[in-house]
Amino acid sequence: MASTEEYLAYALDLLRETPAVTHRKMMGEYLLYSEGVLFGGIYDDRLLLKDVPVARESFPSEDIPYEGAKPMLLVDSDDPALIAATVAAMLPQLPPPKKNRKSPLDSPLR
């Protein structure tokens, strides 16, 4: 089951205090980024965070985003300040965004 745009709007409202939130639609679900760092997603109308120690302190409940995936942490709060503080604390524990590599086809002709 794909996530609905209504739930996306609800989740983005919960993330309103989180800095520079963007999203990307991926196979009917949504990947969530803050300041360019992937921190979670929306799967089957559930807001899930990557499982890092600081996030587990606020949201200990695990949930599987889709069959075969690693468990993520279920956001079970309607408190935008708590969610924003958790995401901000997560960012240093997550890998930085990957720089896009140009393919050889993108190289100028010599």
3-state secondary structure 33-70: EECCEEEEEEECCEEEECCCHHHHHHCCCEECCCCCCC
* Helix (H/G/I), strand (E/B), else coil: 100: coil
What is the phi/psi pair of residue 58, to 5°? -90, -35
Q: Along the 110 residues of the chain, how does pLDDT read in single tens digits?
A: 789 999 999 999 999 999 999 999 999 899 999 999 999 999 999 999 999 999 999 999 999 999 999 999 999 999 999 999 999 999 999 998 877 666 555 545 54
**Token output for 12:** 């983005």
Nearest Cα residue to 47 out of 79, 20, 19, 93: 79
Size of the chain in residues: 110
pTM over 0.75: yes
